[in-house]
Chain A
Amino acid sequence: MGENNITDTKNIILEWLNKEKAPFEIDSDSKELIADLCVEWQYEKQNREKFEKEIDKIISELAKKQLESSV
């Protein structure tokens, strides 16, 4: 957890996204984008619709790319 025992949420998220096998190839920019969004919205408890929308946009794009590449 860093040099001084300090937590870094984003790094831990990225570490696990890289460690666990994804259902298909997910580029590092998208992973970074997902981690950033999660950290950015961490203090928002109630109105998370915008977060969901933004995440879904990234995921839709990934799914679309995957289908295009598999055709």
Chain B
Amino acid sequence: MRIERISIKNFGSYFEGPHEISMKDTSGIDGYAIFGQIGRGKTTIIKAVHWGLYGEVMASSIIGGKLHEKPRPYIDYNKQKEGLEAEGGWCLPLVNNNAFRQGFDEMVIEVDFEHEGSNYSLIRIAKPKVKNPKNDKNMGMEISLTMDKRSIEKHRIENTIEKIMPEAISQFFFVEVDNIGAFSELLFSSQNPSIVEQVELILGIPAIDKSEEDFQKKKNQHSRKRKKLMRDANKGKDVATEHATCEAKIEQAKKDIANYREQIDSLNHEIDEIDEKLEDEPTATDLMARKKDCMKNIEDAEIKLKEHFEDRRMLIKNGFWKVLVKKGITNAIERLTVAENRKEDLQKQINLEGIQRTHHNELAVDKGVDCKVCGNKTEGSSPDEMTKAAKKVIELDESIKSKQEEIDSIGRPGKEISGLAKIKTNVSLMAMDEIEFAIGRLETTIFNEITKKKAVEDELRNHDELSIQKMKNDRDTTMKNVGDLEGEEKAAIKILKIEEEKEDKLSTQLENAGTQSLQIKQLKAKIDIYNWLSDCFKKAMNEFKQEARESVQKIATDAFMEMETEPEKYDRIEVGDDWSVKLIEADGNVAPAGNPGTRQTLAVCVFDGLRRTSNLQFPTFFDNPGSNISDEVIQNMAEYFWRDNSSQMVMLSHSGGLKEEETIEKYGEKLSGAWRVVYDSESSSSIIEELLMK
């Protein structure tokens, strides 16, 4: 089956219409993408196709930790007309709100599809039967289906669709994010009857096991009938009377066993409930243990605290004065350093002024020189210059003297600095910091433990040990009752076995007692055939389950390795006999399944394994595959699904998943069509826009 056209009118967020998607022209490629932000109407397209095919759309919600499901109504007068929040508000009506308010004439879904070489055209219409419909009783539904332009009779339409694509397995092809989420949870909880049933349904296992059950049923029916006929044929003979008594005893034993089993199951359920309550209820012993823990923690902390106080005391005793003067030493060193620097500075100035003094002194006495060799003559200082230089010499002498006096007054700070520095480095301030920190931490611990201890003591005061004891007693009594009943059940099973053996012998005697009628002979032949069928089907079942499991495992593993970003970390996906799933790491260990993204990816892979193993060629709509799956894995997933053209694959993605432009750019060649769903506020409707492909 492949869908070629979807047309929507007045359905969900689609007002008026028709709003259409055409998937006719494939050019051998059967990959499609529908983009759109959350809440714009992508999922509505899937719901529309589902309603078109089956006339019903289920809504599901988790309320109080339990999954609730119910069919979505056509209309909800209170909600749509009055704007009231009706009870069960999560179950949205199917008819578009605006259409309903404006008095709509019809809600229409058309689906054209091809199946095994024939072209089908399906039209499903919901219409108001009265002018102002108030509830679904005022609504009517019409359906028409043509196969190669020939109309199919109304009463055969549902059956025809069911044969083409059974509703029971449709969820494996209309894959919504809720399905994936729920499925990924179920996959890891083995022995879940719901998941086992769904998985076996898509694989076609009921064709064998349901049939086998029916064969057994028919065999038993015929067997009872045959025995009755044989008894009737031997009426009055002891063997017939004895056989009738024996069969009555067998019936009674079977009833007793069923009755005991029912009671045992009910009592076991009661025990489970008591266990759950007891698990939630801490016992006085638990509370005492908790109090004891607190006290122990306080005691340990106090011992450590005492040790740290002792350390602090020792530190103070053995040189704590150094700690106290450390700041003063530091200040003194700083001041002495300033003085030392000043001394050095003054000395430099004295040296400079000494040079200047020598120069000015020479000027003050300079009278010129005649050179006796070359005859040149240098001029000496003028009298004014000599006087000026002499004054400068006196000035400099005074300055040098004053600076020298200051140097003398400073003394030898360098020597003092080195003495003080030695004292400073010996002070263990760090150790003191650590001790203070540890003391603070221990004091906090003690405070916390005392608070905890007080809370436990309060709980102990309010604790109802009596009610816990009562629950324990009830549990013991129920356990004893279960034991007694199991004993009774065992005894009934023993009686059944004895009576069945007896009945077997009596049956043989009955058979030999007289000539058998044709009817009895026919029944015997039928019982033999049913026995043979049942045997064949049991054996087929074992083989089929094993092969199907291996196939799902292989396909899912291959898909996972292709989608996963670090496939080398894993070895395989393992599918158990109960269809529970484990991811095995390269080292052979079972990978922890805590990451919701990995769980969802695994679920998608197992979905695909089931889909392909089932060999059912149905279109697959993947709606936001895995909200927790990383971008890279989502892209690998798209690549994986779009590469396979064995069946139609439509991926719907919101802006957080596959990006529109990037996807068209990267996978354009693998897509036969793509659309964008937007909400147009002007027309108050979702709109489907076709995107140009590369």
Chain A residues in the interface with B (C-beta under 8 A):
1-2, 4-10, 12-13, 15-17, 19-24, 26, 34, 38-45, 48, 51-52, 55-56, 59-60, 62-64, 66-67
Asked if residues A43 and B169 are in contact (CB atoms below 8 Å), the reply is: yes
- Residues from chain A with a CB closer than 8 A to the CB of B535 are 20
Q: Which 7 interchain pairs have the tightest Cβ spacing?
A: A63-B525, A42-B207, A23-B528, A5-B551, A16-B540, A9-B204, A38-B211
| Chain B residues whose CB sits within 8 angstroms of the CB of A44 once the complex forms | 210
- B529 and A62 form a contact (CB under 8 A): yes
Bits for B173-215, please: 1 = Cβ < 8 Å to A, else 0.
0000000000000000000000000000101111110110011
What's the least CB distance linking A36 to chain B, in Å?
A: 10
**What's the nearest-Cβ distance from chain A to residue B417, in Å?**
89
Known: A7-B551, A63-B529. 7 other contacts (CB 8 A): A5-B555, A7-B613, A13-B207, A13-B540, A17-B533, A45-B206, A67-B525
Chain A residues with CB under 8 A of B615: 2, 6-8
Does the CB pair B210–A42 fall under 8 Å? yes
Contact A48 B522 (CB under 8 A): no
Q: Is the CB of A13 within 8 A of B218?
A: no
Contact B518 A12 (CB under 8 A): no
The digit string for B579-613, where 1 denotes a CB below 8 A from any CB of A, is: 00000000000000000000000000000000011
Kindly list chain A residues whose C-beta atoms are within 8 Å of the C-beta of B526: 56, 59-60, 63
Which residue of B169, B214, B536 has the most chain A CB atoms within 10 A of its CB atom?
A: B536
Chain A nearest CB from B1 CB (Å) reads: 15
Pairwise interchain contact A9-B544, C-beta atoms closer than 8 A:
yes
B353 CB–A CB distance under 8 Å: no
Measured between beta carbons, the chain B residues less than 8 angstroms from A4 are: 612
Instruction: State how many angstroms separate the Cβ of A51 from the closest Cβ of chain B.
Output: 6
Question: Which of chain B's residues have a CB closer than 8 A to the CB of A8?
Answer: 615
Cβ B555 vs Cβ A7 within 8 A: no
Q: Are A38 and B207 in contact (CB under 8 A)?
A: yes
Binding site for A on B (CB under 8 A): 162-163, 166, 168-169, 201, 203-208, 210-211, 214-215, 217-218, 518, 521-523, 525-526, 528-533, 535-537, 539-540, 543-544, 547-548, 550-551, 554-555, 612-615
Known interface pairs A55-B218, A59-B526, A64-B522; A16-B531 also in contact (CB < 8 Å): no
> How far, in Å, is A55 (CB) from chain B's closest CB?
7
Hey, which chain B residues are within 8 Å of A43, CB to CB? Answer: 162, 166, 168-169, 201, 206
Within the complex, the shortest CB–CB distance from B645 to chain A, in Å, comes to 14
For B522, give its contact among A5, A7, A12, A60 (CB under 8 Å).
Answer: A60
Q: Are B522 and A52 in contact (CB under 8 A)?
A: no
Closest to A13 in B: B540
Could you show 8 A-B contacts with beta carbons less than 8 Å apart? A9-B544, A20-B535, A42-B206, A43-B166, A63-B522, A63-B525, A63-B529, A67-B518
- In contact, A7 and B544 (Cβ under 8 angstroms): yes
CB-based contact B214/A51 at 8 Å: yes
Rounded to whole Å, the gap between the CB of A12 and the closest CB of chain B is: 5
Are B554 and A5 in contact (CB-based, < 8 A)?
A: yes
User: Cα distance A21–B550 when bound, in Å?
Assistant: 28
| Residues of chain B contacted by A21 (CB below 8 angstroms) | 532
Asked if B204 contacts A17 (CB within 8 A), the reply is: no
Taking a contact as CB atoms under 8 Å apart, the answer to whether B518 and A7 are in contact is no
